[in-house]
Structure 1
Amino acid sequence: MSAGTPYIVLAAGGTGGHMMPAEAVAGVLKNKGCKVSLITDKRGDAIGNALAGFDRFVLDATSHMAGGLVGKLKALVSIGKSTLQVRKRFKAERPDVVVGFGGYPSLPAVLAARSLRIPYVLHEQNAVLGRVNRHMAEHAAAVALSVTYTQRVPEWVHTVVTGNPVRQMIAKLANLAYAVPLGAGDIRVFILGGSQGARILSDVVPAALAAFGNDCRHRFDVIHQARPEDLERVTEAYKAAGIRARVQPYFDDVGSVLTRSQLVICRAGASTLAELTAMGRPAILVPLAIAADDHQRANAEAVVAARAGWMMEEKAFTVEALHEKLETLFSDMGALRDASENMRTLARLNAADELAALVISISKKEGKA
């Protein structure tokens, strides 16, 4: 590393919702001449296509969400151990800025940075400031928000609205037009459960589509992300209904799938919504009911308020209710077109650039660049 080259450490993990924004920012920072490393956990490391080629340090850690008194004690021990490991790493090669993307893996990295007086930035993907970010916000150089109306942000915290970064491959496809289903042509539906899949979507969607008449069923062209243990039954359900479907546990080519999709049925995770807004794809959103602070509901409500999609709570997400909603949408394709246009109004395509610029500016203020 040459003198004056900023060294930035990104801390993210757990799910694609944390890893994908980190990957987007890492690419911009690298292109601007920064050295970039990743601190993650085993789940983040298992998302093999994320931040490939970047130096990484994998924490052997227990989630702070572990239940019960024993679980919480184990989590505290794990956090302490991981923080000491990260401190040792930072002492060997001191970062100019540490960026935490929320979730468990960011906590030891940010704690280590704070103890060593290394400036750190927090990025919040959701419409509710997460627990780790709330606890660590007070001493952050900045808290970068994805939306202006983010809830539970302390008044004294320095915030900057950057948006939620999307991967370069998504940003490049953002200007492709939305194709409204017409006549007797295909109706292309993408069922996306996030990086971990979603069983409720596999339970409900195939049956709701199968409830259509034969003429309509033959028009469906479905791409469905399902958990590995659900692949066989979901595939068989579509086959029995005569519906064309590709069912996989994970899609590396989400951008190309979204390009051809006319309706997305998915969770309301922040990264999923950032990609939908970038590409202007209308969606039926099913917020994860157990999400911390009910943040997926807050994410979905913003989309509904913009008339860019429709929310169905888990308790109301039944085969009958979804079938009725789909019948309405497919009988009035104009609603899908309007939702697509409205979805685009929520996009912030320059979010990765804005967040990277913020991080570099903080590095310069520290006299490191």
Structure 2
Amino acid sequence: MARTILLTAGGTGGHLFPAQALAAELGRRGHVVELATDARVSDFGKDFPARAVHVISSATLSGKSPVALARTALKLGKGLMQSRRLIARLRPDAVVGFGGYPTFPPMFAAFLGRVPSVLHEANAVMGRANRMLAGRVTAVATSFPLVDGDDSQFAAKSVRTGNPVRDAVIAASGRDYVAATPGDAFRLLVFGGSQGARFFSDAMPGALERMTAEERARLELVQQCRPEDMERMREACDRLGVKAELASFFADMPERIAGAHLVLCRSGASSVSELSVIGRPSVLVPLPHALDNDQGRNAEVLAKAGGAWPVRQADLDADRLAALLGELMAAPERLAEAAKAARAAGHPDAVGRLADLVEHVASGAPLSALAAHLDQGGSAS
């Protein structure tokens, strides 16, 4: 039976990528998908497979002054009214939220309108907006075991689905990892996402200077840089004789990950999920200063599986980065084992499991039977 499903996600890649994966799967199953998000969608949502994209007023809680709080409350209130009108017009069978404060108005509107809802938590620690919503939704879909007591608090409605990855990631996961033996070209991929690319542009030139001439000669660097950092990164690579491809955005990032011998990046939920599904070893540098340390917890999950080496940003100076890169370049067997471990930790079936959960919730059926079935690795489809 075809249903209408309203997805809602903050307008950044970390929130939109899993929503995009679910939208594609629901479309394959014959359902109609609509998306509610914020104005940032123009950067990441051009190819989102939805019948329509609805921009909802929103704001992130920042600052404690009465003026800032009042401004945020007004925007969220406006977003709630927009969302209630949207839900009344679309009459969705279910609403699915992917985190971030832009999801709050549509998800709360679903609660007020008694529309079945699913809240997806991509990280190992539940975000603040999701924590406020979790008690008001039909089901909570998780990617990792939740920390800080959230697993037990929402156990009755929690279902482990994994974090959905885009179709391009699934396609790239078919490429086997082939280690670079000493003397071979060594492909290093470096990216930091919308918030974290600046650090790597600051750190890499000094690290490249400290690497040996032989290591630099082997290196084939692919790095995401902010536009304002591009010139100095290019100058450093040219001066040191490092073969490099630099860009502010790579549309084919899953293929870039699959082609890398080692990845140096942040540990956002989407990055960790894609690294594990594709099966590539990584040095993970969690974004510092996050209130919930969500990236640090994500990195720990992949590190415990044996697929990554987490390093705090404060500890990663040019000397340590150069030494770590040199050490791993000289250890192809170690990298191959990490690649194998990362892939074993991946959940390529996550999008199917989440789509099963959404269909089940939309049908109005009890959650317990499906949750037990999925926990055993089954599929409802």
Scaled by the length of structure 2, the TM-score of the pair is 0.91
Deviations 1:19-76 (A, max 9, x none): 0000000000011111101111112332144515541001233222356432222111
Match in the other structure for 1:56: 53
The yes-or-no answer on 1:132 pairing with 2:129 is yes
Q: Is the 8 A contact 1:15 1:196 kept in 2?
A: no
**Percent of paired sites with the same residue:** 36
* Secondary structure class of the residue paired with 2:41: helix
Equivalent position SS for 1:155: helix
Deviations 1:248-305 (A, max 9, x none): 1111101111121010000000000100001111000000112230111001111111
Letter in 1 for 2:141: A
SS of aligned partner of 1:28: helix
2:283 matched residue in structure 1: 284
Residue of structure 1 aligned with 2:80, choices 57, 60, 83: 83
TM-score (norm 1): 0.94
Q: Which amino acid aligns with 2:207?
A: A
Alignment of 1:110-149 (within 5 A): 110-149=107-146
* One-letter amino acid of the structure 1 residue matched with residue 128 of structure 2: R
CA distance in 1, matches of 2:259, 2:4: 39
Structure 1 residue ranges without an equivalent (≥5): none
* Separation in 2, partners of 1:241, 1:68: 49
The correspondence of residues 1-369 of structure 1 with structure 2, limited to 5 A, is 5-51=2-48, 54-66=51-63, 68-153=65-150, 155-157=152-154, 158-365=157-364
**CA deviation after TM superposition for structure 1 residue 189, in Å:** 0.3
Query: Displacement, 1:105?
Result: 1.3
Give the whole-Å Cα distance in 1 for the aligned partners of 2:264 and 2:51: 32
Is the Cα–Cα contact under 8 Å of residues 164 and 351 in structure 2 kept in the other structure?
yes
Q: Distance in 1 between matches of 2:80 and 2:106?
A: 6
Distance change >3 Å, CA 66–CA 36, structure 1 → 2: farther
Structure 2 gap segments, 5+ residues each: 367-381
Partners of 1:254 and 1:67 lie apart in 2 by 38
Does the residue aligned with 2:181 lie in a helix, a strand or coil? Answer: coil
- Residue equivalent to 2:376: none
From the superposition, tell whether residues 155 and 149 of structure 1 become closer, same or farther in structure 2 (CA, over 3 Å): closer
**Aligned pairs, how many?**
364
Aligned-residue CA RMSD in angstroms? Answer: 1.7
Q: Which moved more, 1:45-54 or 1:137-146?
A: 45-54
Shift in CA distance, 197/296, structure 1 to aligned 2, threshold 3 Å: closer
Q: How far, CA to CA, are the matches of 1:174 and 1:362 in structure 2? A: 30
* Other structure's SS at 2:362 match: helix
